[in-house]
Amino acid sequence: MSQSFDLVVVGGGPGGYVAAIRGAQLGMNVACIEREHLGGICLNWGCIPTKALLRSAEVLHLAKHGADFGLKIGQIEFDLEAIVKRSRGVASQMNGGIKSLLKKNKVTHIEGEAKVAGQGKLTVKGKDGKNTELTAKEIIIATGARARELPHLKADGELIWTYKHALTPNVMPKKLLVIGSGAIGIEFASFFNELGSDVTVVEMMDRVLPVEDADISKFAEKSFKKQGMKIKTHASVTELKKGENNVTCVVEAKGKKEEITVDRVIVAIGITGNIENLGLEDVGIKTDRGHIVTDKWGHTGVDGFWAIGDVAGAPWLAHKASHEGVIAVEKIAGVKGLHPMDKGNIPGCTYCRPQVASVGLTEVKAKEQGFDVRVGSFPFIGNGKAVALGEPEGLVKTIFDKKTGELLGAHMVGAEVTEMIQGYVVARTLETTEAELMHTVFPHPTLSEMMHESVLDAYGRAIHF
């Protein structure tokens, strides 16, 4: 049995399904192969269900502080099983939505595991064990990534968790240790801390959220500690000793070792691309340190083969994958006026409490690249809407090229900054300078006014602080 298509997309995550739909919009006969769940890790085991969990934690936090808003709220309890059930329900609803979108756009959805079988050829092993042969003019590999593991930090799903296990906990750990303070680690630390776990975060670098601007990391770490988290930086976990229902973690920092016994451990030390068993080497597709090597359009250098999303390397973000999918398909279709993606304009968001969001260069990176910079900042405490919301904790920071006025970077920590960051992303995409930002009218009262004030502060013109 053989089927022929103009385009076959291997993987139905946020990169794959978007690429498939865009291909169909451009008149191609498209198939999308997914071995597990449409929506990939992001929708089923990442971005979406974690936000559902964090929303429950946010509502719990507000309920606990009802008196601050003049509200009398009785005994507050949470039901972990119900929280997880809601999270899984949200993921299931979104998964069904993608199935409908593929059907609406006449994309052929094939369930199974694909392997490259030659130039323009794929073999798909279905869930029934039978193989289907596909041919395609173009093939996009969008197989995503999985949690990175080290031999001495191997997850077992019982005492030692990856993000997938942490999304469906069968127990509320009284004590929890999180290895890694990137977005995944800190989001889970924030969730379990809010629900009452005694949380310890271990980070190898000199600060939490190490990819963020140093001022933002410092602000966030201070807030996490205020909430009761224990933060250990310049530290690593060298051994995990499993007990009957606990784990003793050997933590080494600055040459000294200590043992910390906890109920559960979450390993969040990064991800690695799903490049195995795809037959890539048989057609000469190059890989490097766990990801497929591509050019700026997503092409692998081998005729007819493209790669997008997490499997094509950092940054490992769903919105980056979706955008890469559109670019690759439009390049295949010969769309005129197409531009490659500028990774410097990809925003990063972490949905902990307080939220963290950024785009562009940090202050240190800007200086390392030789820019003479102007830096502005504005605190949430100076914003009327933030105070009215009961969210006075936060900071907006902007970095400009002193010579040209170019917005080099924007960094934020505080309530709803993951929604606000897009304003700065649009500004960078449009190559806006400080002049346009200063002359933009921001509505009052809003949190977004802090974005304006931060720009003004970079030029000594801030009004409200």
Among all residues, which ones are annotated catalytic?
444
- Contact between residue 401 and residue 408 where contact means Cβ atoms under 8 Å apart: yes
Token duo for residue 371: 């820019």
Q: What is the dihedral of CA 320, 321, 327, 332, to 10 degrees?
A: 160
Q: Are 160 and 247 in contact (CB under 8 A)?
A: yes
Distance CA 121, CA 139 (A): 9
* Rounded Cα gap, residues 396 and 385, in angstroms: 14
Bond from prior residue into 445 cis (ω within 30 degrees of 0) = yes
Tokens of residue 261, six digits: 């016994």
User: Distance between CA 384 and CA 362 in Å, rounded?
Assistant: 27
Q: At what angle do helices 449-458 and 417-429 cross, to 10 degrees?
A: 50
CA 180 – CA 350 distance, rounded (Å): 14
The helix, strand and coil proportions of the chain, stated in percent and rounded to the nearest 5, come to 35, 25, 35
Alpha-carbon gap, residue 94 to 49, rounded angstroms: 10
Write out the H or E segment, with its range, that includes residue 176.
Answer: strand 175-179
